[in-house]
Amino acid sequence: MQTILTKKYGLIHTGKKIGGGNLRDCYSIANKPGLCIKIVKSELSLARKLQAFFFHKNTNIEEYRLYTTIPEQIRPYFNPVIEAEKAYMLTEMPRNYDGSYALPVKSHGKISNQVFWQHVNNLFNFFEENELWLFDVLNGNNMFVRKDSDTDWRPVIIDYKRIGWKAFPWQVYLAFKWGRKKKLRRRYRKFQKKYSGFFL
């Protein structure tokens, strides 16, 4: 358990680890049910240290700033950032209509809910039309499924700090718009193929 001083809630105590990525781990908060905290890992491999140094020196603040600039039309699809500092970030834990916590797309396997895929398709089209190169949100770990009813499912993106070429080792073609568009489309097709129950 870690104790962290936050601006909004004062001292909080981390609970169990509920997820993790290359640079951060995510924990429940023992004294704040419904919230979670992402903490920058204290130990990283050399490769991850270099990635963090050159591309993500302030990864939590970077994600918070991105959240504040997301267009209103698609902001409901992004899990809100409550507070961010260099070492931690507070967010909500997405909940379903019955009070249970939403699960990542990866945990659902093949998804055959038409409403969910309509939302995902709308997101993809918005990204492409408005040149938002959020490649890494089309990922079974970074996108959750929130059930607003038995039939009304929608995507909730819980990790969106990486933009464009920062999401991958440098690829020269991503310096060009055609390359970024090609990458986004490829990621979407791969996401559909892996998780859509309607994909042929």
- The answer, yes or no, to whether residue 47 has pLDDT greater than 80, is no
Which numeric CATH code is attached to 1-93?
Answer: 3.30.200.20
Q: What is the pLDDT of residues 78-89, one digit of tens each?
A: 999 999 988 888
Residue 79 DSSP one-character state: P
Angle CA 102–149–113, to nearest 5: 80
The predicted pLDDT at position 171 comes to 73
What are the DSSP E strand ranges found in 21-109? 24-29, 35-40, 81-84, 88-92, 103-104
The predicted pLDDT at position 61 comes to 85
Q: Indicate the pLDDT class of residue 121, thresholds 50, 70 and 90.
A: very high
The predicted pLDDT at position 84 comes to 92
Boundaries of every domain in the chain: 1-93, 94-200
Residue 157, C-beta contacts closer than 8 angstroms, at least 6 positions apart? 77, 78, 79, 137, 142, 143, 144
Q: What is the pLDDT of residues 124-177, one digit of tens each?
A: 999 999 999 888 899 999 999 999 999 999 999 998 866 555 555 667 787 788
Q: Counting beta carbons within 10 angstroms of the beta carbon of residue 200, is it exposed (0 to 12), middle (13 to 18) or buried (19 or more)?
A: exposed
Q: Indicate the pLDDT class of residue 25, thresholds 50, 70 and 90.
A: confident
The predicted pLDDT at position 104 comes to 95
